[in-house]
Structure 1
């Protein structure tokens, strides 16, 4: 079982919540901007904190750290239980999906990388243990898609979001 992660851009958390309320939290549609459809990238297994954070670190040429990409929960909208619960089988915080809003610093790091520096950053990104020795050439298209999405988000004055499902 893998973790599904999709990144998309939206004008704000309220627009994301409205779209997710229409679908019960289902994966947002990607395509032309309309109610419930977003400009996005499917990035299976690229979680915001670790793998996206390692791409941001590679772009910035700095060490990765767990708090490099800050994110805040947007979905589910029910109050999150404390560490001791109450948890139940049907609690959306246990079952997902989850959506987080990424900080603008991560978006901007992706958006600002020069095109001629992308291959070197991806080569460094491929060294992450979580990639298990992946070939940088295989990761380059995904990195380019994430960078292009961040550029479009910044140009539009929008935020980046990550939809996560088990």
Structure 2
């Protein structure tokens, strides 16, 4: 059993929670428009708790325990039962750090992040995840939205 994680932008927790009624999550296209309902990126290897905590620490220069203690780090916004899916928030400080980081900072962060991640994560694989996540964060910040993670168990 694995975990699927899709990160997406929404203006409020209440709007973010509506994705729980969207079959397939925020990256799935709306059947009427064939476009996703949310600005989203699928990052199956980046969980919103441990992996994002490591990233937040790398980008901010603060200890892991401090960034994961932020009240919005992985805070439950909504769930559709005990087996999910779930929607959790991403701390606004991380959104701002991602949105303001330039390409050189993101490349360095991916390398540093690999040092805090599971042994199977390489700097290249994390950079491949970090770039679309940072672009999503920049779009969210420009729109005044927050970031959220839709999480679901997979077979």
TM class by smaller structure: 0.7 to 0.9
Q: Is the 8 A contact 1:107 1:160 kept in 2?
A: yes
Gaps of 5+ in 2: none
Q: TM-score, normalised by structure 2?
A: 0.81
Gaps of 5+ in 1: 78-91
Shift of 1:36: 6.7
Q: Following the alignment from structure 1 to structure 2, what is the Cα–Cα distance between the partners of residues 112 and 151?
A: 7
Paired residues in the alignment total 147
Task: Name 1:20's counterpart in structure 2.
Answer: 20
Pairing 1:11-160 to 2, within 5 Å after superposition: 11-21=11-21, 23=22, 26-29=24-27, 37-65=37-65, 66-67=68-69, 70-76=73-79, 92=81, 94-130=82-118, 132-160=119-147
Task: Name 1:80's counterpart in structure 2.
Answer: none
Find the structure with the greater CA-based Rg: 1
Residue aligned with 1:96, SS: coil
- The equivalent position to 1:163 in structure 2, one of 139, 150, 153, is 150
Q: TM-score, normalised by structure 1?
A: 0.77
**What is the RMSD computed on CA atoms of the aligned residues?**
2.4
